[in-house]
Amino acid sequence: MGVLLDEFSTKIPLLTHSEKRVLYYIEHHFEESKTMPLTKMAEENSVSTTTIIRLCHKLGLEGFSELKFLLKNYEADVLPEEIDPIMRYMKDVQQSLSQLSPESLKNIASSIDKAQRIVILSVGLTKMIGEYLSKRLMQMNLSSTYIYESHMIDLISNWISQDDLVIFISSSGETETLINACEKLEHLNIDTAAITNNPDSPLYKMCSQSVSAPVQKVAYEGYDVSNRSSLVMLADLTFEYYLKHLSEKA
């Protein structure tokens, strides 16, 4: 998935066929789209200019000019210092592990132990990690579920309880759907935890407890290839610290 599709993954189901065609066109003609006039883009996609404006509004943007501004702030080629991906991954893992706080993982483990139910929220490319962590917790007979559909996430504040723990998994920590849900839960004093790759993100700062494995952001031709395996590592560490918590409590 490209950076643009990843950014607006929760909005895609709301788009018409014509609007999706425009979005996919922009994703696959990233550099040209940065400077392409509205009329030219409409012509290239055989749609009206109104369709493109409507697409922008559905994406939460004020109009085409804001979309162009957004595109220009994306780098189509963000090349890492080490060209070889293996070297970059080695550096990411070493730096991430060196910055991890055992206390953060202990706090999340304690919250998992206290919770009557664990609800894991993850969307886009991270939804499979939410499912993975949920199933690991189920192995310990914990009441755990994961949700990745945006409309269900929007409704979470209607049925969540004070005894629950909500775990957010997000690489950027800036996904609008997750941030909105976290704000609602904060007002309800629900215990929350964030697992991210970005310790400077709103989600990391908003949750009751958070853990992060910072990685270098890398994209090629508009496709985000930043390391997400670090999130699996954090999921594994969260589960292991929970087991460690149980053994120390016994």
Asked whether the predicted pLDDT for residue 113 surpasses 90, the reply is yes
Looking at residue 2, what DSSP letter applies? Answer: B
The answer to whether residue 150 scores a pLDDT higher than 60 is yes
Its pTM stands at 0.72
User: Residue 77 pLDDT more than 60?
Assistant: no
Average pLDDT, the chain: 88
Pick the more confident residue, 230 or 5.
Answer: 230
What is the DSSP secondary structure assignment for residue 125, as one 8-state letter?
G
Which has the minimum average pLDDT: 23-32, 78-87, 180-189? 78-87
Q: What band does 131 get if pLDDT is binned at 50, 70 and 90?
A: very high
Contact 222, 86 (CB under 8 A): no
pLDDT of residue 80: 55
CA 109 to the chain's CA centroid: 21
Which token pair is 57?
A: 């509004």
Give the number of other CB atoms < 10 A from CB of residue 140.
13
Which residues 6+ apart lie within 8 Å of 48 measured at CB? 42
Calculate mean pLDDT across residues 216-226: 69
The pLDDT score that the predictor gives to residue 10 is 79
- Please state, for a pLDDT cut of 90, what percent of the chain lies above it: 58
Q: What is the pLDDT of residue 109?
A: 97
Structural contact between residues 167 and 107, judged by C-beta atoms closer than 8 angstroms: no
Q: Could you give phi then psi for residue 109, rounded to 5 degrees?
A: -60, -40
pLDDT for 6 beyond 80: no
User: Is the pLDDT score of 166 beyond 50?
Assistant: yes
Average the pLDDT over each of 70-74, 123-127, 173-177 and give the range with the smallest value.
70-74
**Predicted pLDDT of residue 92:** 83
Domains of the chain with bracketed CATH: 3-74 (1.10.10.10), 85-249 (3.40.50.10490)
183-217, pLDDT tens digit by residue?
999 999 999 999 999 898 999 999 999 999 888 77
- Residue 1: pLDDT over 60: no
- Contact criterion met (CB below 8 Å) for 121 and 152: no
Q: Which has the higher per-residue pLDDT, 25 or 77? A: 25
Confidence of residue 78 (pLDDT cuts 50, 70, 90): low
- Rounded Cα distance, 89 and 92, in Å: 5
Alpha-carbon gap, residue 158 to 155, rounded angstroms: 6
CA 140: distance to chain centroid?
Answer: 26
Q: How far apart are CA 97 and CA 213, in angstroms?
A: 7
Torsion sign over Cα 80, 171, 6, 208? negative
Mean pLDDT of 165-187: 93
Other CB atoms within a 10 A radius of the CB of residue 86 amount to 8
pLDDT of residue 229 exceeding 70, the answer is: yes
Interatomic CA distance for residues 158 and 163, integer angstroms: 14
Q: Are 167 and 119 in contact (CB under 8 A)?
A: yes
